[in-house]
Structure 1
Amino acid sequence: MYEALSAIIENLTVFGPIIILFYLVNLAERSRTPEHPREGKEFALVLYMLMALGFAIVFLLGLIAHFQGGQLAHTLQGIYSERIVNHFASQHASIGMSLWIPSLVGMLVFIPSLRRFLAGKVLPIDPAHRVHTMALSFSMVVWVQLFVTVAIGLGLINDATAPNVAASYTFASIWSQNILFALLAFIGTGWLTRRNGKEVLERLGVRPLTLKQVLAGIGIGAALTLFPALMTWVETLFGPIVDQNVNDLTTKMLGPLFDSIPGVLTLGLAAALGEELIFRGALLPRFGIVYTSVLFALIHTNYGLSLSTLMIFFVALALAFARLRVNTTLSMVIHATYNITLGLLYMLAG
């Protein structure tokens, strides 16, 4: 019980402020109308400044690590292991850049002319829309997380990561995280501020499926498992092509879920609920197929930048096309089937 409560509190601590932020920026956007386009501008600017302040702090920390990390490494001695200290001393420039470069981009997004350029050339956003602006800036957090993971290295992260031996912690962590993802998708698209529940579901693309569409989704999800199956077959012929640290980290993070049917179902159903609502439901119509799929692939940081990341990107493309061709409910069915099938195969093999 304690482990489950701890996991829920951890996720609330991370996602709670984000949900509140997007609730507030939706309030600021609600005030803006074609007749009064500047209404609520002051409130929006305060929220922009708070977001920019967070990036500014990370930006400064990145500059310090980049240019002074070698000199500061000795201060970590006695606090961290010698391996960690030596790695930071040798990789401080990469770690620093992984912090300050995406943080700088996150701040630059608040420049209207840059958003207008992106809206015309790259992304289907409304450059004046305050929620779109905040979401685009916040997407840089994913890049910070990914670049820091790569700079530190999966090997070091794997060694420093303790296995999740408590099944209750893993179950609670996965479910609470994805429920909060779903809540963020609802709040981010205007629930309780700009849209009612029916309008939000329509915006997220959550609509009923026919039996034929459900069966097609199950078939597509099962077929997508050919990607990892092909990788496994290639490894039997030519040796490992995936960093072993990727497999080890995945096992440490999700291991207890592979030991039971409820765990395998959690892998599929929780991800179908949270990840599909936030990525295919909320973000895809505003960020487009490519950028949304890239973010989806990169948020799986336990893969770092590896062949597995590329595989997830292609799966994300398939889910995106399902959302655009039919609706988000179909992408949920595909995602759930994909994860559950992989989980069952892993459980049977282990």
Structure 2
Amino acid sequence: MNDYTEIIFLIASFALLILFAYLANKVDYTVQVKGTNGWNSVSHVIQALYACMYLLVILIALLAKVKNIYTIAVILASILGLSLLIPAVRKGLAKMIPINPNSHVHTFALLTSVFIPTTLFQSLIMPTSLAEVQQENITLVSTLSSIWAQNILCAVLAVMGVGYLTRRNWQQTRERLGLYRLTFKQFLGAIAVAVLFVLLQWGLTIVFTQLGLSEEQEVLKVNEALMAPLFNSAIGIISIGLAAALGEELVFRGALQPRFGIILTSILFALTHANYGLSIGTIVVLVLGFGMGYFRKRYSTTYTMVIHAAYNILVGTLDYFFP
């Protein structure tokens, strides 16, 4: 897949998700505010499409020539996704997390949150090899374009997902996402937390290494080859921080955490970072997700955006000077 095709596919995929988010909010608005059911059929179509996608993923996993742990994960995750279409399952889940089982928006959020890591696991049935990566022409421009496009689209999805243009105006959307102005003291506090997170990552890595639990060398080499253009330039390192702070924080800490809670949101956060397979790095991301979830609850999403940006930039800078 060339650079332009990848970007086009990324935009098309997110555009569909953003459309679904808008329509789900429109349905809830007409039911809850206007008291009409005229848009209910739209939500049923969306849910039917998700059912078809989950069934297709299961079929692809069953027919795949390569069978590994991710094949099982894909099938189980798809079954979980399908079960969320059942109202009784959502009612049971509503006893554990603050969702409305009858909300079309919450149903869409659940279906999408399970579907994204499911498709990620699907790609890991036949993971990318180092030889394949080395054959690709990976440039700084293409990598920057991809990371910024993905995170800007994530930000738009988060904004539309919480009801902007349907159920909420911009001020209400900002409040729902937890976007508040920081004081200078809070800003410095967030930077200090980022430094502590870097030290925590370093400490966890040492502990896992001492226990004989280390990253798979193939995974490390593939990741380094793909990310090399970013980590070898100042603009790349800054982009890793700012782009992730924008897109990932708005989706996970901003949109999802108030409904899914810290634990479930952190698990989803970790799974979406398992691009090249579950590893020790996944556990580190999970721990950091718990930490940022705590600070989102105590302060705001803006606070965690500063933490996330500073953390990524610090890690990228250290890797640049101390490879």
Alignment partner, residue 319 of structure 1: 292
Alignment partner, residue 84 of structure 2: 109
> Which residue among 196, 205, 210 is the counterpart of 2:178?
205
TM-score (norm. length: structure 2) = 0.91
- The answer to whether the aligner puts 1:173 opposite 2:146 as a matched pair is yes
* 146 and 12 in structure 1: CA distance in 2 versus 1, 3 angstrom threshold: closer
User: Quick one: distance in 2 between partners of 1:239 and 1:287?
Assistant: 34
* 97 and 30 in structure 1: CA distance in 2 versus 1, 3 angstrom threshold: same
- Kept in 2, the 8 Å contact 1:149–1:301? The answer is no
Alignment partner, residue 8 of structure 2: 9
User: In structure 2, what residue type is equivalent to 1:301?
Assistant: A
Relative to structure 2, which stretch is displaced further, 27-36 or 193-202? 27-36
User: Quick one: distance in 1 between partners of 2:195 and 2:72?
Assistant: 40
What displacement does 1:142 show? 3.2
User: In structure 1, what residue type is equivalent to 2:218?
Assistant: N
What displacement does 1:164 show? 5.7
Determine what percentage of the aligned residue pairs are the same residue: 37
Alignment partner, residue 49 of structure 1: 48
- The answer to whether the aligner puts 1:133 opposite 2:107 as a matched pair is yes
User: In structure 2, what residue type is equivalent to 1:18?
Assistant: L
* 259 and 127 in structure 1: CA distance in 2 versus 1, 3 angstrom threshold: same
- The answer to whether the aligner puts 1:161 opposite 2:133 as a matched pair is yes
Alignment partner, residue 60 of structure 2: 61
- The answer to whether the aligner puts 1:273 opposite 2:246 as a matched pair is yes
- Kept in 2, the 8 Å contact 1:4–1:168? The answer is no
- The answer to whether the aligner puts 1:310 opposite 2:283 as a matched pair is yes
* 127 and 237 in structure 1: CA distance in 2 versus 1, 3 angstrom threshold: closer
Residue pairs, 1:228-307, within 5 angstroms: 228-231=201-204, 233=206, 241-307=214-280
Q: Deviations over 1:272-322 (max 9, x none)?
A: 000000000000011111110000001012352111101000101111111
What displacement does 1:248 show? 1.5
User: Quick one: distance in 1 between partners of 2:129 and 2:160?
Assistant: 33
- The answer to whether the aligner puts 1:100 opposite 2:75 as a matched pair is yes
User: Quick one: distance in 1 between partners of 2:70 and 2:183?
Assistant: 49
- Kept in 1, the 8 Å contact 2:120–2:275? The answer is no
- Kept in 2, the 8 Å contact 1:298–1:304? The answer is no
User: In structure 2, what residue type is equivalent to 1:229?
Assistant: W
Contiguous gaps of at least 5 residues in structure 2? none
User: Quick one: distance in 2 between partners of 1:107 and 1:137?
Assistant: 8
User: Quick one: distance in 2 between partners of 1:110 and 1:240?
Assistant: 38
* 192 and 141 in structure 1: CA distance in 2 versus 1, 3 angstrom threshold: same
What displacement does 1:266 show? 0.4
- Kept in 2, the 8 Å contact 1:7–1:172? The answer is no
What displacement does 1:247 show? 2.0
User: In structure 1, what residue type is equivalent to 2:89?
Assistant: L
* 227 and 26 in structure 1: CA distance in 2 versus 1, 3 angstrom threshold: same
Alignment partner, residue 82 of structure 1: none
- Kept in 2, the 8 Å contact 1:190–1:200? The answer is yes
Q: Deviations over 1:74-109 (max 9, x none)?
A: xxxxxxxxxxxxxx2xx26x5543333222221210
- Kept in 2, the 8 Å contact 1:164–1:170? The answer is no
Relative to structure 2, which stretch is displaced further, 262-271 or 19-28? 19-28
- Kept in 2, the 8 Å contact 1:58–1:103? The answer is yes
Residue pairs, 1:218-233, within 5 angstroms: 218-231=191-204, 233=206
* 224 and 169 in structure 1: CA distance in 2 versus 1, 3 angstrom threshold: same
Q: Deviations over 1:144-186 (max 9, x none)?
A: 2354355546xx6444334663110011111111000000001
User: In structure 2, what residue type is equivalent to 1:142?
Assistant: I
Q: Deviations over 1:224-266 (max 9, x none)?
A: 0113322554588677722223321221221111112111100
- Kept in 2, the 8 Å contact 1:142–1:298? The answer is no
Higher-Rg structure is 1
What displacement does 1:59 show? 2.5
Alignment partner, residue 343 of structure 1: 316
Q: Deviations over 1:51-88 (max 9, x none)?
A: 212112222333x42xxx5xxx4xxxxxxxxxxxxxx2
User: Quick one: distance in 1 between partners of 2:210 and 2:46?
Assistant: 54
Relative to structure 2, which stretch is displaced further, 12-21 or 338-347? 12-21
User: Quick one: distance in 2 between partners of 1:164 and 1:313?
Assistant: 32
User: In structure 1, what residue type is equivalent to 2:43?
Assistant: A
Corresponding residue pairs, total: 321
Alignment partner, residue 29 of structure 2: 30
RMSD of aligned Cα (Å): 2.4
Per the alignment, in what secondary structure is the counterpart of residue 207 of structure 1?
Answer: coil
User: In structure 2, what residue type is equivalent to 1:50?
Assistant: L
User: Quick one: distance in 1 between partners of 2:89 and 2:211?
Assistant: 47
User: Quick one: distance in 2 between partners of 1:175 and 1:225?
Assistant: 23
